[in-house]
Amino acid sequence: MTSFFTQLHKKKITLLSLIILATSFILAPPFLSRSVSRLVQLKSHLYPSSAIQQKLRRPFNTTPNRYIARMAYENELEVALLAVQRATLLTKSVFHSHSKGTLTKSDNSPVTIGDLGAQALIISSIKHVFPEDEVVGEEDADDLRKDEALRSLVWDLVQAAKLDDSAAEDKIGGPIKSVDAMLDSVDSGRSAGGRKGRIWALDPIDGTKGFLRGGQYAVCLALMIDGVPTVGVIGTPNLPVDDKAPLDADIGANADDSDGKGVLFGAVKGEGATSRPLSSGGLKEGSKIFMKPLNDISQATFCESVEAGHSSHGDNAAIASKLGITKPSVRMDSQAKYGSIARGAGDLYLRLPVSKTYQEKIWDHAAGVVIVQEAGGEVTDAWGKPLDFGIGRTLKDNKGVVAAPKGVFPRVIEVVKEVLGAKE
């Protein structure tokens, strides 16, 4: 009898154990997943994603690695860097040729075959990876469609410009397939711009005057998200690779892209700015760049346009003098000025308006602005107003541009306003 009860008791225990086991199988997963997600939340609070990504980030090369965390807009940055790098192969070949193929636009500004070829290459790269994106490009294909000799010249250049790294070439779509595809690429830069969506701003050769003169020029590309410059890339074939190379007065003239020259700047909003040597293949390793901390503003080096018609040399000089700056300005063409101050070779960029009616173009500033902001600087117009990139192809609500390290920016803008105010 006793053994019967013992048996029954054992069976009960076994049954109970089975019930508990089954229940825990049914109920445990949700509990477990909740605990895991709590752990993840806790971890991301302790280590914000940008810090984790910073640790895991690979230097931008062309080998995708899906197991490593990617930073925001990493693919866009990589495509932009490669597209600009490939376009500089074309501009450099034109820069070296004796006849630079100048033709005159109706507004009398020089346009070159380099401009048209670089625009075709860059837009075809963007459209290969991001077909839905819009592009605001400086050029259009009207002249190319009308002029057969020009068209075949540009087509030859476009076909010859190839990165000597097949993975890098593939990433940006390889060669342009036909003359018609080239014309369509150039014409895809006709976006009106605006405040919504993904729009690229492209200056295929910024500083055409410097390019024709044999000075500084830059290939510039930026992605704007809802009107805010978010990714910026500038290729400057005639700047020294060394971020620490001092800026001297010669930098804007008699430039050449001999060995040891050529820089590719890149930045993503919130992720920092980098520079790396330009190459003819995949991307070389980049390093972070920062503006120079300026403890004594009177020691600043300020950069301005070579062309007196683009920026008032007189007003710039008056501002420098009020800031106690005695060093002469460094004059150079193009957004090479933004790159130069972002890496601490120079300090300030002053672009005081000359004309009351001129509207700055978004492609002349969008890339430079992200790079300077990410290197620790601030950029506004000459009255301290934020630059508004969301109202079309021009910065029509702004006048002039001032860029400086954050710490001294308020003082600089105060003096700029004094000088402008005295002229009102």
Ligand X SMILES: Nc1ncnc2c1ncn2[C@@H]1O[C@H](COP(=O)(O)O)[C@@H](O)[C@H]1OP(=O)(O)O
Nearer to Mg ion, 74 or 203 (CB): 203
Taking the least distance from each CB to Mg ion, the nearer of 76 and 364 is 364
Nearest to 390 by CA among 230, 265, 234, 271: 230
Element (H, E) at 401: strand 401-405
Among 88, 91, 208, 301, the one annotated catalytic = 208
Bridge partner residues of 212 (DSSP): none
Angle at 72 between CA 46 and CA 56, to 5 degrees: 55
Phi and psi, residue 23, nearest 5°: -60, -40
Our answer to whether residue 208 is catalytic in this structure is: yes
What are residue 246's phi and psi, to 5 degrees?
Answer: -65, 150
Residue type, 20: I
Question: Residue 364 annotated as binding?
Answer: yes
Signed CA dihedral, 112, 114, 115, 119: sign only = positive
203 binds Mg ion (CB under 5 A): yes
Q: Select the binding partner of residue 358 from Mg ion, ligand X, none (C-beta < 5 to 8 A, by kind).
A: ligand X
Residue closer to ligand X by CB (options 60, 338) is: 338
310 binds ligand X per the rule CB under 6 A? yes
Of 40, 38, 48, 137, nearest in space to 87 by CA = 137
Which residues, numbered 363-402, are part of the site for Mg ion (CB under 5 A)? 364
DSSP label at 184?
H
Residue 115 interacts with Mg ion (CB under 5 A): yes or no: no
Closest residue (Cβ) to ligand X?
A: 305
Q: Does 246 bind ligand X (CB under 6 A)?
A: no
Q: How far is the CB of 216 from ligand X (least distance, A)?
A: 8
Strand stretches in 59-120, DSSP E: 103-104, 110-111
* Complex with ligand X: residue 190 or 284, whichever CB lies closer: 190
Cβ proximity to ligand X: between 283 and 342 the closer is: 342
Q: How many residues bind Mg ion (CB under 5 A)?
A: 3
Strands 377-380, 401-405: parallel, antiparallel or unpaired by DSSP?
A: antiparallel
Which listed residue (14, 41, 358, 418) binds ligand X by CB under 6 A? 358
Please name the residues in contact with 75: beta carbons below 8 A apart, sequence gap of 6 or more.
129
Binding residue for ligand X (CB under 6 A) from 76, 187, 333, 374? Answer: 333
Site string for ligand X, 202-231 (x = CB under 6 A): ----xxx-x---------------------
138 is in an annotated binding site: yes
Among 88, 236, 334, 398, binds ligand X (CB under 6 A): 334
Instruction: Tell me whether residue 114 or residue 207 sits nearer to ligand X (CB atom).
Output: 207
Own/partner long-range contacts of 312-321 (Cβ < 8 Å, ≥24 apart): 312/352, 312/353, 312/354, 315/350, 315/352, 315/419, 315/420, 315/423, 316/350, 316/352, 318/419, 319/350, 319/352, 319/412, 319/415, 319/416, 319/419, 320/350
Counting Cα atoms < 13 Å in the Cβ hemisphere of 220 gives 31
405 touches ligand X by CB under 6 A: no
The region of 87-95, 96-104, 203-211, 391-399 touching Mg ion under the rule CB under 5 A is 203-211
- Which candidate in 62, 115, 165, 381 is catalytic? 115
CB of 112 to ligand X, least distance (A): 11
Sequence-distant (6+) residues with CB within 8 A of 179 are: 151, 155
Residues 6+ apart with CB under 8 A from 215: 207, 209, 238, 252, 253, 254, 255, 306, 332, 333
Among 359, 234, 352, 369, residue whose Cα is nearest residue 304: 352
Residue 208 interacts with, from Mg ion, ligand X, none (CB under 5-8 Å by kind):
ligand X
List the interface residues with ligand X, window 93-112 (CB under 6 A): 109
The single-letter code of the amino acid at 256 is: D
Binding to Mg ion (CB under 5 A) within 205-224 occurs at: 206
Q: Is 205 annotated as a binding residue?
A: yes
Among 355, 386, 406, 414, binds ligand X (CB under 6 A): 355
CB of 257 to ligand X, least distance (A): 17
Binding-site ranges for Mg ion (CB under 5 A) = 203, 206, 364
Binding-site ranges for ligand X (CB under 6 A) = 109, 206-208, 210, 305, 307, 309-310, 333-334, 354-355, 358, 364
Active-site amino acid positions: 115, 208
Binding residues: 138, 203, 205-206, 364
Binding residues for Mg(2+): 138, 203, 205-206, 364
